Amino acid sequence: MTGAARRLRGMAEPLDAGQPMLAAEDLHVRFADVHAVRGAGFAVADGESYGIVGESGSGKSTVLRAVAGLNPNWTGSIRIAGETMGRHRPRSFHKRVQMVFQDPYGSLHPRHTVDRVLSEPLAIHGMDDAENRIERVLREVGLGPAFRFRFPHQLSGGQRQRVAIARALILEPQVLLLDEPTSSLDVSVQAEILNLLARLRAEHGLTFVLVTHNLAVVAHMCDRLAVMNQGRIVEELSVDQLRANEPAEAYTRQLLKASLGYDREAARALATFD
Amino acid sequence: MSAASVTTQGWRAWLLAPEPKSRAQAKLGQAYLGWLAFRRNPLAMVGLGIILALLAVAALAPWIAPASPIAQDLSLRLLEPDATHWFGTDELGRDIFSRIVWGARITLTIVALVVVIVAPVGLVVGTAAGYFGGWFDAVLMRVTDVFLAFPRLILALAFVAALGPGIENAVIAIALTAWPPYARIARAETLTIRNADFIAAARMTGAGPMRILVGHVMPLCLSSLIVRVTLDMAGIIIIAAGLGFLGLGAQPPSPEWGAMIASGRRFLLDQWWVATIPGLAICTVSLGFNLLGDGLRDVLDPKQQ
């Protein structure tokens, strides 16, 4: 959905032309003795789908959690729709930005029914018409009302991830942060969830920030992507450039090569970047 | 008969429905599954039977007891167990069976009061310390350590000595010494829970710390706490009996089991039943709580599911 369409549906105020929906500058995240993110910066336009790729430990998930406000140890600047974010996030932030976590087995409370998972955000934000909203969002993620009063252990991994997506959507956010949303699901379910996310993005005009180590997922889902290595964004490129296999940075070429499968040469060459 | 079986079928089908229609049905269905699992454990069922029997005896004491627990008849001193005095009589000619039956009320009162005080305090202190961390955690846990550092019975003795003997003070003394382990357990559980993705997800929806603590953290700490409380009941009963034995708990002529043992120990060699019967009662009830606790652990402990 474009900005104009959103205005028509009476949703949140549009951004000024050219203003990014989400912008991070000079982002650093330090843990006790690890400097996990070293000066990352990127900007995501309204309605854009932005990928962050990198190998394990490159700091890509840490960037996302800092943006989400789940990690207080960051410095730099984070702006959402022009609003500068501090360590403590206001309620309006949660209404605008939601997150889907990697492991659907860990991201749903084991003692809460689907109904409770979905009604709690509505209660927190004082949104009315909970009944209809819950039924609608369940339908949207491809789960019928039959799933409403089940516990997580009565659901499959894919169904759980659909519930997690429904929880993120029920506040009608504009930005969805996706932390490897499919990497703990099996392959056939991965495709279903990715298609669901792509459909929801088209229907709601959502802005995506997708963190993954899977280049195929990025190629399928994103418009632009950043490649991270050792806490830095080494390259930013469009998906067309990725598909055409023409990255500028040597590290990105290595990553592309590695994504094609195990290759003794590639493995040896990769060692030089550690 | 067929109508009855149809309704039980209907109940079971409703409880075990794979697609519950309401929150209550979902919760009851889970509880029923827990009961089915619990029922498979025969020892736990024995424990449950003992505790239910204790509850029934305490509730129906005036109707079960053949005589008053405090009525003395010195002509009937120290009678052996027989048909009229099932457990014999004590040194003041009181019917021991009646005293045991009425004593069940005292035992249950002590246990219930201690649990009502201890479990919430331990839960709140432990989850708050674990969730907020930092200096808050440090302060609460040092306080907990201070209480943990004293042997339980000794600290209880000191409190009773300061507050004066009696059941209420015994309960307060036991409660003061019993909460630290619960705080520790709740804190340990909270530490494993607080970094879980579902807590991050709750924060992401804008939930405040109170909502997360009460709605998300505490329900997960509750089951291990319930198990621990049930297993500790035996210890609580024994400490209460110990205080009674030392003359610091229930006061005569109250038929408290520990006090009964204390008064019967003078006749232990010649009139064994005076001290032995209340001892067996304490032993049985403690065993019942232990078996029940073990069974509950199998059902409730999320780590074993």
Inform me whether the C-beta atom of residue A165 falls under 8 Å from chain B C-beta atoms: no
**Angle subtended at Cα B293 by Cα B103 and Cα B250, rounded to the nearest 5 degrees:** 20
User: Which H/E stretch holds residue B25?
Assistant: helix B23-39
Contact B215 A120 (CB under 8 A): yes
pLDDT, tens digit, 9 for 90 and up, residues B43-95: 999 999 999 999 999 999 899 888 888 888 888 888 888 888 888 888 888 99
pLDDT (0 to 100) of residue B73: 82
Report CA B190 to chain centroid distance, whole Å: 23
Give the total number of structural domains in chain B: 1
pLDDT (0 to 100) of residue B214: 93
Inform me whether the C-beta atom of residue A98 falls under 8 Å from chain B C-beta atoms: yes
Q: Find the mean pLDDT for residues B97-113.
A: 91
The CA distance from A218 to A201, in Å, is: 14
Q: Which of A149, A155, A177 to mutate to test the interface with B (most CBs of B within 10 A)?
A: A149
Contact A99 B201 (CB under 8 A): yes
Mean pLDDT (chain B) is 87
Distance from CA of B15 to the nearest CA of A (A): 12
Query: Domain A3-84+94-232 class?
Result: alpha beta
pLDDT (0 to 100) of residue A247: 76
Closest CA to B157 of B140, B144, B170, B141: B170
Contact A121 B21 (CB under 8 A): no
Confidence check: pLDDT of B19 > 80: no
Return the residue of A nearest to B219 by Cα: A111
Inform me whether the C-beta atom of residue A154 falls under 8 Å from chain B C-beta atoms: yes
Confidence check: pLDDT of B200 > 60: yes
Chain A, 197 to 256: residues with Cβ < 8 Å from chain B are none
pLDDT, tens digit, 9 for 90 and up, residues A63-101: 999 999 998 889 999 999 888 888 888 888 999 999 999
Pick from A102, A125, A149: CB nearest B26: A149
Type of residue at A189: V
Inform me whether the C-beta atom of residue B203 falls under 8 Å from chain A C-beta atoms: yes
Kindly state the tokens that stand for B150: 């004293």
Cβ neighbours of A103 in B, within 8 Å? 197
Question: CA gyration radius for chain A?
Answer: 19
pLDDT (0 to 100) of residue B198: 94
Handedness of CA B186, B189, B191, B195 (dihedral sign): negative
pLDDT (0 to 100) of residue A5: 47
Pick from A98, A121, A149: CB nearest B20: A149
pLDDT, tens digit, 9 for 90 and up, residues A3-54: 444 444 444 455 566 788 999 999 999 888 888 898 889 999 999 999 999 8
CATH of the domain at B97: 1.10.3720.10
Kindly state the tokens that stand for A1: 């959905």
Q: Find the mean pLDDT for residues A123-137.
A: 91
Q: Is residue B164 a part of any domain in this protein? A: yes
Are the beta carbons of B299 and B291 closer than 8 angstroms? no
The domains of chain A are located at 3-84+94-232
pTM score over 0.80:
yes
Grouping H, G, I as helix, E, B as strand and the rest as coil, residue A56 is coil
Cβ neighbours of B21 in A, within 8 Å? 149
Contact A110 B25 (CB under 8 A): no
Are the beta carbons of B245 and B258 closer than 8 angstroms? yes
Phi, psi (deg, nearest 5) at residue A113: -75, 160
Distance from CA of B5 to the nearest CA of A (A): 27
The CA distance from B150 to B176, in Å, is: 11
Cβ neighbours of A115 in B, within 8 Å? 23, 26
ipTM at complex level: 0.85
Neighbours of A143 (CB within 10 A): 19
pLDDT (0 to 100) of residue A202: 92
pLDDT, tens digit, 9 for 90 and up, residues A208-267: 999 998 888 888 899 999 999 888 898 898 888 888 877 778 888 888 877 776 666 666
Burial B39-77 (b: 16+ CB within 10 A, else e): eebeebeebbebbeebeebbeebeebbebebeeeeeebe
Q: Report DSSP state, residue B65.
A: -
User: Which H/E stretch holds residue B61?
Assistant: helix B61-64
Closest CA to A209 of A175, A182, A184: A175
Inform me whether the C-beta atom of residue A58 falls under 8 Å from chain B C-beta atoms: no
Pick from B196, B205, B220: CB nearest A120: B205
Grouping H, G, I as helix, E, B as strand and the rest as coil, residue B26 is helix
Inform me whether the C-beta atom of residue A61 falls under 8 Å from chain B C-beta atoms: no
The CA distance from B275 to B260, in Å, is: 7
Enclosing domain of residue B95: 44-304
Contact A68 B204 (CB under 8 A): yes
pLDDT (0 to 100) of residue A49: 94
The CA distance from A188 to A193, in Å, is: 9
Chain B, 15 to 44: residues with Cβ < 8 Å from chain A are 18-23, 25-26, 30
